[in-house]
């Protein structure tokens, strides 16, 4: 495939870049950190979204190079940010299979100087479906570096609750479909309330994703959701927009 060939050159050519979307405190609306979202700045096609090229990368071993690069680049960038801001990196299940992620994380922290406590890895349930014991062991190894593990897209898979029993997640990111539905649907609001209570019981931090309206912010604050993320606060920011964001907020 044409795109696959080009993708293999993209890293070397410096065509991949990270955009960063803020996660804010629900209480103060101050930024707590950013989620790294990879983009491919293709010389002819323009900005290619991850939904287009991550699946292609996952079909080959390219996801290993892209994923390893993303971890190292996210740490390198975050080490230059003001204050104690954290950075969250999405890890695909296939990347986790192909790479020694714990080793990559250790290298990324060492070469950037970023404290492990300021890095978070976002994983989805698809990772936990396979070879659970091995995966859990490697996640523990990563946690031992001080790095937090978040369950991404919570509520959309088919076995989220059983995974919460099997592994001590530091954070749950509630899928944006619940936040979106909450504007119209009392059941969605009841589910959100229940997930917050679950988080309190398990001592797991909760982030609500896909926050787009003031009304959603107020509802989520009212039910004591701690962290918010979504277009209401900011879209994923390219390097120039991120620089402006820092000027405005620090």
Interface with Mn ion includes 152 (CB under 5 A)?
A: yes
Query: The tokens 């993303």 sit on which residue?
Result: 70
Percent helix, strand, coil in the chain (nearest 5)? 50, 20, 30
Query: The tokens 């309330």 sit on which residue?
Result: 193
Which part of the chain contacts ligand G (CB under 6 A), choosing from 109-117, 140-148, 196-204, 205-213?
205-213
Closest to Mn ion by CB, 73 vs 122, is 122
**How many residues contact Mn ion, by CB under 5 A?**
3
Q: Which of 202, 212, 224, 245 binds ligand G (CB under 6 A)?
A: 212
Q: Which of 22, 31, 33, 230 binds ligand G (CB under 6 A)?
A: 230
Closest CA to 88 of 163, 37, 143, 160: 37
Cα dihedral 178, 179, 185, 189 in deg (nearest 10): 90
Residue 73 C-beta: closest distance to Mn ion, Å: 16
Interface with ligand G includes 127 (CB under 6 A)?
A: no
Tell me how far apart the alpha carbons of residues 248 and 250 are, in angstroms, rounded to a whole number. Answer: 6
155-194 footprint of ligand G as x/- string (CB under 6 A):
---------------------x------------------
79-118 footprint of Mn ion as x/- string (CB under 5 A):
-----------x----------------------------
Three-class DSSP category at 36: strand
Read off the tokens for 208.
């609500």
Eight-state DSSP code of residue 94: H
Q: Which of 5, 44, 51, 247 binds ligand G (CB under 6 A)?
A: 51
Interface with Na ion includes 125 (CB under 5 A)?
A: no
Which residue has the closest beta carbon to ligand G?
230
Closest to ligand G by CB, 51 vs 240, is 51
Q: Which of 65, 120, 125, 153 binds Na ion (CB under 5 A)?
A: 153
Half-sphere exposure of 56 (CA within 13 A, CB side): 15
Three-class DSSP category at 190: helix
Q: Which of 47, 61, 103, 231 binds ligand G (CB under 6 A)?
A: 231
Closest CA to 173 of 189, 150, 195: 150
What's the count of helices (H) and strands (E) in the chain, helices before strands? 12, 9
Closest to Na ion by CB, 65 vs 153, is 153
Cα Rg of the chain, angstroms:
18
Residue 156 C-beta: closest distance to ligand G, Å: 9
Residues that bind ligand G in the complex, under the rule CB under 6 A: 21, 36-38, 49-51, 54, 70, 90, 92, 152-153, 176, 209-212, 230-231, 236
């Amino acid at each position: 495939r044409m795109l696959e060939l080009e993708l293999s050159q993209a890293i070397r050519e410096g065509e991949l870049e990270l955009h960063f979307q803020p996660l804010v405190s629900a209480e103060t609306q101050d930024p707590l950190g950013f989620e790294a979202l990879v983009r491919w700045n293709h010389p002819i096609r323009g900005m290619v979204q991850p939904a287009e090229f991550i699946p292609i990368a996952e079909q080959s071993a390219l996801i290993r190079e892209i994923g390893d690069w993303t971890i190292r680049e996210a740490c390198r960038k975050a080490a230059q940010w003001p204050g104690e801001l954290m950075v969250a990196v999405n890890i695909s299940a296939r990347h986790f299979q192909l790479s020694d992620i714990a080793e990559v994380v250790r290298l990324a922290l060492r070469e950037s100087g970023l404290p492990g406590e300021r890095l978070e890895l976002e994983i989805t349930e698809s990772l936990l479906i396979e070879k659970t014991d091995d995966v859990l062991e490697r996640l523990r190894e990563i946690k031992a570096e001080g790095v937090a593990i978040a369950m991404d897209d919570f509520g959309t898979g088919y076995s989220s609750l059983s995974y919460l029993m099997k592994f001590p997640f530091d954070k749950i990111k509630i899928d944006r479909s619940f936040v979106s539905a909450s504007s119209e649907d009392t059941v969605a609001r009841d589910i959100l309330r229940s997930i917050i209570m679950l988080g309190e019981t398990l001592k797991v931090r909760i982030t609500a994703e896909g926050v787009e309206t003031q009304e959603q912010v107020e509802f989520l604050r009212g039910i004591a959701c701690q962290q918010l993320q979504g277009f209401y606060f900011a879209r994923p920011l390219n390097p120039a927009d991120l620089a402006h964001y820092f000027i405005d907020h620090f």
